[in-house]
Amino acid sequence: MASIGILTISFGHEVRQHSGFALNGSTRALAYLEKLDNPDGLLDDPIDCIQIAKDGAKYVDNFSRFAIENIKPDKRTRKKVHIPGVFKYVFEIFSVTLDKMGVSSEINIHTDGAAYEVYAFEIDWESIVINFMTNSIWAIEAQKQRQKSTIRVDLYETDGEITVIYSDSGIGLEAGTEESIFIPMNSGKRDGRGNVIGTGMGLSIVKTHVDDHMLGSISAKAHSDLGGAEFTIKVPVRGKNK
């Protein structure tokens, strides 16, 4: 694990440095071209190409920043974690991908005045949200026909408990797999031929984070009102001294 951490840090710094150069260069080139007169539309294709390069550089820059920050010691220290903030942060990381796919994301706060804070490992919550996001992206892409694609998070805090309901408009879960998807090595992801393509570890790790690290619970529904899968996490609000 230490070796992986060192490699991640080194790779992340190198990638972020060069993605920063690419992002800066493409931004400046784009700004320059957009200021030029373009009556015949001859600059349209170059502008589109540079915009694609800029979006790609931003995507790589976001993920390299995320990789570097995940190695920081404070990510593995129990502290107050603002759950809506984690979702917002991860949504920002995936923003380029979501925009390209035409997927909208929303975070709905239903309990006014609630802190939505838990005393936990921040990296656990980031791991949970990223797993949900990658599953949603796959599930939405797997649809044969789709119109409005959405990822939605609903948050409630009542009686010392925070409830997080995560849902998307993807293909949903196979009926009867709502519990087995949390079993290690059991994956519901399949390709067009029906072959299993997932590792089957993601949701198992999520369940470990919720059940063991937070003393909470997680459950799944095959289909939400959006059409795709729905996951409900309930965790107690526990302060440092509780």
pLDDT in tens, 24-66: 899 999 999 999 998 888 999 999 999 989 888 887 777 677 6
Phi, psi at 72, each rounded to 5°: -60, 140
- Which residue is listed with tokens 């790790």? 205
Please report where in the chains the tokens 């929303």 appear, as a residue. 106
Confidence band, pLDDT 50/70/90 cuts, at residue 78: confident
User: What is the residue-wise DSSP string for 23-70?
Assistant: HHHHHHHHHHHHHS--TT-TTHHHHHHHHHHHHHHHHHHHHHHHHHHH
| Residue 166 clears pLDDT 90, i.e. is over it | yes
- CATH class of the structural domain 78-236: alpha beta
Contact by Cβ (8 Å): 150, 105: yes
Which DSSP helix (H) or strand (E) runs through 155? strand 149-158
What is the reported pTM? Answer: 0.74
Query: How far is it, in rounded angstroms, from Cα 146 to Cα 237?
Result: 38
| Alpha-carbon gap, residue 118 to 57, rounded angstroms | 34
Residue 141 CB coordination number (10 Å): 13
What pLDDT was estimated at residue 241? 46
Strands 103-109 and 78-82: unpaired
Kind of pairing between the strands at 103-109 and 149-158:
parallel
CB atoms within 10 A of CB 15: 17
Please, are residues 177 and 152 in contact by the beta-carbon 8 Å criterion?
Answer: no
Q: Which DSSP symbol is given to 148?
A: S
Average pLDDT, the chain: 84
pLDDT computed for residue 20 by the predictor: 78
pLDDT of residue 54: 87
The answer to which of 85-94, 154-163, 180-189, 232-241 has the lowest mean pLDDT is: 180-189
Closest by CA position to 130, among listed 81, 93, 170, 171: 93
Task: Read off the pLDDT band of 163 (50, 70, 90).
Answer: very high
What's residue 129's pLDDT? Answer: 95
Whether residue 97 contacts residue 72, with contact meaning beta carbons closer than 8 Å, is answered with no
Neighbours of 228 (CB within 10 A): 26
Average pLDDT over residues 148-174: 95
User: Encoding tokens for residue 124?
Assistant: 């656990």
Alpha-carbon distance of 28 to 16, in angstroms, equals 18
> What is the reported pLDDT for 1?
47
**Predicted confidence (pLDDT) per residue in 114-137, tens digit:** 999 999 989 899 999 999 999 999
Percent of the chain past pLDDT 90, that is, above it, reads 49
State the angle between helix axes of 2-35 and 44-70 in degrees (0 to 180), rounded to the nearest 10.
150
Domain boundaries, the chain: 2-71, 78-236
CA distance 118 to 239: 7
Residue 99 — φ and ψ, nearest 5°? -65, -45
